[in-house]
Each structure stands twice: as structure tokens, then as C-alpha cells.
């Protein structure tokens, strides 16, 4: 492989990894920006999305956990991936509405620390619940081969310059682009979006103008949750599926929001791409041998995220696209 094609592969891997963070960060960021709600349970929504996607798309055989003990080891609907891609966002949207109504809403006026404590607690409860029910071992989430039996989505794909590249990763990038585009249009060009943007700035004044803002808030929360669910479905086949995936993805998702700036979709997209590219670059770079000392970059990929976040925040504390007056 030439250097150019290697770089192109790193770039595409970065876009794909970044796409997952973008899906999570868009929701996290609009919830944080609009509702001023710090949602540490956002990763739990990703977890729910992954498992729901797995069980809708495939037949799964559980090898541990209470369900298996109780005789429900053969689990899953096996309806295929497209069904999962459509049903999971709806399901997680509904989960988000319940979460807003019964948990988040009573914490909007409380300090950030209270919000963090309650959502982090919820995230742990969900994680342990999944561990008890489905076991703590990783479940195989095989990539779908076809969508609608005709569109191939797995296997390698020959691209110019890049050479061979996993087809599914390209789909993840495409699905993310479409969904983020839809959310962008919703926020920028509908009256719902107008109320949300005005509410981000001054919720009290929107209320005084005579608009009951709690309903748009509910929808914002649901949309953010649905995006996290989609991230779980499309990201599932790329990573292991076990009860800790939610917690593991939470930190890069928050870093994405902080880098991009709270409350901006553009920021979430750019932040996600920066994080994804940083990670992919450090993983993809070949090791360098100087004298007898070999430097391997991939173990540094996690550290690299914090380093890049620290550098960006030193220069722009409110994030790249952040508005310092809006930041909570």
C-alpha cells in the first residue's frame, strides 16, 4: 500500500469512528445547550440502542445471565438489520421521552452536580441490569450482509486511491451524515427549531412570550436519545457488545461536545471528526523504531483524545463553535 492510500484509510476510519461520536454528541450537545441538563446517562441510551438493535436484527444465543438461567437463552427476533435501524430509534426516542418526563424534568432547576449524580446513577443501574439479564460476556453482533436482500452492506469494497475498505464503515458514515443533516434542517429551518434555538439563549423569555417550552424540550430530549440509539445500532457491529459499552463511549462523547462547543450541531460534527481522526491516526500510524527503541502509537490513542481536547480548550475554552455566553 502506498502512503496515500494508507492515509486515506486512516481518514476514512477516522470519519467512521468520528461518526459514532457525532451521533452521540449531537444529542448530548443540544440537550446540554437547550435544557442545560448534563446527561451522564446518554451512554446508557447507546447501550440500550446496541442491545435493542442486536435483539431485533438477529437471533442471539445467550450463554450467561439470568435470562439464560430462566430458560430464555434463545433470544432475539431475527427481523434483520433494516428493521433494527427503523425500530431502535423509535424505541429509544420513547425511552428518552420517559427519561425526560420522569427524571430529567425535575432536575432542570437543580445544580449540575445533582444532574450528574442522578444520571450517572441511572447509567450504572442500567448497565448492571443488562449485566444481570444478558450476562457480562460479549455478544457477537455480526455485520448485516444485505439490506432489503439486495443492497450489500458488508464485506470489503474497492475504492479509488483507498483500495479495499470495509463497506459497513462507509454505511455508518453515510447514515450519520443523513441523520445529522435532518436534525440540522429541523433546528435551523422549522419553527420547532426556532423555539429551541431561542430557548437555548433565554428560556425564560421564550416562556414570557407565551410559548410553553416544555413540549419542545420533551421532543429535544427524545431526538437526542434516538440519535444515541442509532449510534448503538450502527456502532454495534463494529465494536464488542457487552454491558460496559455505554460507559466506555460516554467520555469520548463528552469530549466531543466540549471540543465542539455546547449547543451547536456544527460543533458536535467537527468535534466528533477531530476525536475520530485523532484516534484513527494514532491507531493507524505504523510504529517507529529509533535506535533500539520502538515507539508504537496505538496504545496512546486514548491519551491522544485528552491531549487534543486540552490543547483546543486552552485556545478556546468555550469550544470551537461554542458561544461563551450560552455555555452552562
Question: Alpha-carbon distance 297 to 311, whole Å?
Answer: 19
Q: Least distance to other proteins from the beta carbon of 82, Å?
A: 24
Q: Least distance to other proteins from the beta carbon of 220, Å?
A: 10
* Look-up of cell digits 469520548: 252
Q: Report the site for other proteins in 138-167 (rule: CB under 8 A).
A: none
Stretch that binds other proteins, among 70-78, 171-179, 194-202, 253-261 (CB under 8 A): 194-202
Phi, psi for residue 166 in degrees, rounded to 5: -60, 125
CB 52 within 8 A of CB 92: yes
Q: Least distance to other proteins from the beta carbon of 295, Å?
A: 45
Residue by residue, DSSP assigns 17-76 as HHHHHHHHHHHHHHHHHHH----TTHHHHHHHHHHHHHHHHS-EE--SSHHHHTT--EE-
Residue 131 CB contacts under 8 Å (≥ 6 apart), including other chains: 65, 243
Q: Least distance to other proteins from the beta carbon of 42, Å?
A: 22
Judged by beta carbon, residue 101 or residue 197, the one nearer other proteins is 197
Stretch that binds other proteins, among 63-71, 104-112, 182-190, 277-285 (CB under 8 A): 182-190
Residue 194 makes contact with other proteins by CB under 8 A = yes
Residue 175 makes contact with other proteins by CB under 8 A = no
Closest CA to 225 of 52, 22, 26, 84: 26
Stretch that binds other proteins, among 108-116, 119-127, 209-217, 314-322 (CB under 8 A): 209-217
Out of 70, 109, 113, 191, name the contact with other proteins by CB under 8 A: 191
- Interface residues with other proteins (CB under 8 A) are 186, 189-195, 197-198, 201-202, 205-213, 215-216, 219, 323
Amino acid at each position: 500500500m502506498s502512503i496515500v492510500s494508507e492515509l486515506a484509510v486512516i481518514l476514512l476510519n477516522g470519519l467512521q469512528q468520528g461518526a459514532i461520536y457525532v451521533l452521540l454528541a449531537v444529542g448530548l450537545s443540544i440537550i446540554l445547550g437547550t435544557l442545560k441538563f448534563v446527561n451522564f446517562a446518554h451512554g446508557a441510551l447507546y447501550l440500550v440502542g446496541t442491545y435493542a438493535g442486536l435483539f431485533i436484527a438477529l437471533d442471539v444465543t445467550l450463554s450467561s445471565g439470568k435470562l439464560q438461567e430462566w430458560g430464555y437463552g434463545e433470544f432475539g427476533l431475527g427481523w434483520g438489520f433494516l428493521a433494527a435501524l427503523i425500530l431502535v430509534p423509535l424505541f429509544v426516542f420513547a425511552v428518552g421521552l420517559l427519561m425526560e418526563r420522569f427524571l430529567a424534568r425535575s432536575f432542570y432547576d437543580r445544580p449540575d452536580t445533582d444532574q450528574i449524580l442522578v444520571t450517572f446513577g441511572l447509567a450504572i443501574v442500567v448497565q448492571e441490569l443488562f449485566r444481570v439479564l444478558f450476562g457480562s460476556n460479549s455478544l457477537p453482533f455480526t455485520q448485516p450482509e444485505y439490506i432489503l436482500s439486495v443492497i450489500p452492506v458488508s464485506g470489503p469494497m474497492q475504492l479509488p486511491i483507498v483500495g479495499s475498505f470495509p463497506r459497513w464503515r462507509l454505511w455508518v458514515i453515510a447514515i450519520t451524515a443523513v441523520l445529522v443533516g435532518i436534525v440540522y434542517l429541523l433546528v435551523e429551518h422549522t419553527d420547532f427549531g426556532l423555539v429551541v434555538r431561542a430557548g437555548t439563549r433565554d428560556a425564560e423569555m421564550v416562556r414570557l412570550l407565551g410559548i410553553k417550552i416544555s413540549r419542545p424540550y420533551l421532543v429535544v430530549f427524545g431526538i437526542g436519545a434516538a440519535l444515541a440509539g442509532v449510534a448503538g445500532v450502527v456502532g454495534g457491529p463494529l465494536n464488542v457488545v457487552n454491558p460496559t459499552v455505554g460507559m466506555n463511549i460516554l467520555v469520548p462523547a463528552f469530549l466531543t461536545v466540549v471540543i465542539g462547543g455546547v449547543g451547536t450541531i456544527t460543533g458536535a460534527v467537527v468535534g466528533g471528526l477531530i476525536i475520530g481522526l485523532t484516534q484513527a491516526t494514532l491507531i493507524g500510524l505504523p510504529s517507529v523504531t529509533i535506535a533500539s527503541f520502538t515507539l508504537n502509537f496505538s496504545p496512546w490513542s486514548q491519551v491522544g483524545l485528552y491531549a487534543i481536547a486540552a490543547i483546543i480548550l486552552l485556545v478556546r475554552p468555550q469550544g470551537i463553535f461554542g458561544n461563551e455566553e450560552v455555555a452552562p
